[in-house]
Amino acid sequence: MTSAYDVLARIRNNLQAPEPAGERCEMCSESIADEHQHVVNVAGRQLMCVCRACYLLFTDGNADLRYRAVPDRYLAFEDFALDRRAWEALQIPVGVAFFFTNSALGRTVAFYPGPAGACESELDLDGWNAIRGADSRVSLLADDVEALLVRVPENDDADGEFAQPQSYLVPIDACYEFVGRLRMLWRGFDGGQEARQFIDSFFSQIDARALKTPPGTPP
C-alpha cells in the first residue's frame, strides 16, 4: 500500500529545479546579465534585450534586416553647426533632444525628455535638412540604431551669443535609458533640481566616453 509519504516523496523527486532568476534574451530565452546588448526591431520601433550570440546575428549594417544591432560608439561633435536660428526652427520645447533616422518611416524623427518619458516632436524637415547640410558629421549616424543627442545651454555665453551646444553621436539605447531615468526624477513643470543634476551628470559621462570628432570628419 502506498503511503502519503511515498506520494509526497515521488512528487518532490519529479519536481524540476527552479530556473535562475534574472533577465532573458528576448529572442532565444537564454539568461543574460544586467549589462547586456540590444537590437532594434525596425518596423516595431522597439528595443529588445538580447544575448551576445543573437546580437551578433544583426551586426551587418548593410544587410536588409528586420532587426539591427545597437553599436557601442560614442562620438563628440565639437563645434557642431547649430545656431540659435536653427535650434528655434526645430521647435523643440526643451533644451535636450535626440534625432535619428527611422528607416521604416524613411525620415528623421526627433524626441525630447519629459515627465511622461520620450516625447516625439513634429520635426521641421527644412530646419533639420539645413543642419544636415551645414555639418557633414550628421551622415555618420547609422539608421535606427544611433542618434544625435543635443543639449542646448539655458543661457547665452558671456558675449550674449548663442552658447555652443553639446552634441554627440550615441547608441539609441543610451537615449532611451536617459529619458527613462530622467522620467523617474522629474518633478514639476521644468523637472526640478534633481533632474537637472542628473542631466549634468549624464552628459559629463557621455563626454568622458566620447571620441572627439572635429568638423570635416568624413562620413
What angle (nearest 5°) sits at the alpha carbon of residue 106, between those of residues 40 and 96?
A: 65
* Measured distance CA(63)–CA(102) in Å, rounded: 16
Strands 166-171 and 146-151: antiparallel
The counts of H helices and E strands in the chain are: 6, 10
**Per-residue pLDDT tens digits for 151-200:** 998 776 666 676 788 999 999 999 999 999 998 988 877 778 898 899 99
Task: Give the pLDDT confidence score for residue 205 in this predicted structure.
Answer: 96
What's the mean pLDDT in 134-157? 90
Residues ≥6 apart with Cβ < 8 Å to 151: 95, 96, 165, 166, 167, 199, 203
Residues ≥6 apart with Cβ < 8 Å to 173: 38, 47, 70
Whether the CB-CB separation of 151 and 199 falls below 8 Å is answered with yes
State how far Cα 172 lies from the chain centre.
3
Confidence of residue 68 (pLDDT cuts 50, 70, 90): very high
Residue 125's Cβ-side half-sphere holds a number of Cα atoms within 13 Å equal to: 4
**Per-residue pLDDT tens digits for 46-65:** 899 999 999 999 998 777 78
Higher pLDDT: 192 or 141? It is: 141
Task: Give the pLDDT confidence score for residue 159 in this predicted structure.
Answer: 65
Confidence of residue 14 (pLDDT cuts 50, 70, 90): low
Whether the CB-CB separation of 147 and 74 falls below 8 Å is answered with no
**Per-residue pLDDT tens digits for 77-122:** 999 988 888 888 888 888 899 999 999 888 899 999 888 888 888 8
Whether the CB-CB separation of 162 and 84 falls below 8 Å is answered with yes
**Per-residue pLDDT tens digits for 28-37:** 999 998 889 9
Whether the CB-CB separation of 154 and 95 falls below 8 Å is answered with yes
Task: Give the pLDDT confidence score for residue 8 in this predicted structure.
Answer: 46
* Measured distance CA(90)–CA(86) in Å, rounded: 7
Task: Give the pLDDT confidence score for residue 174 in this predicted structure.
Answer: 95
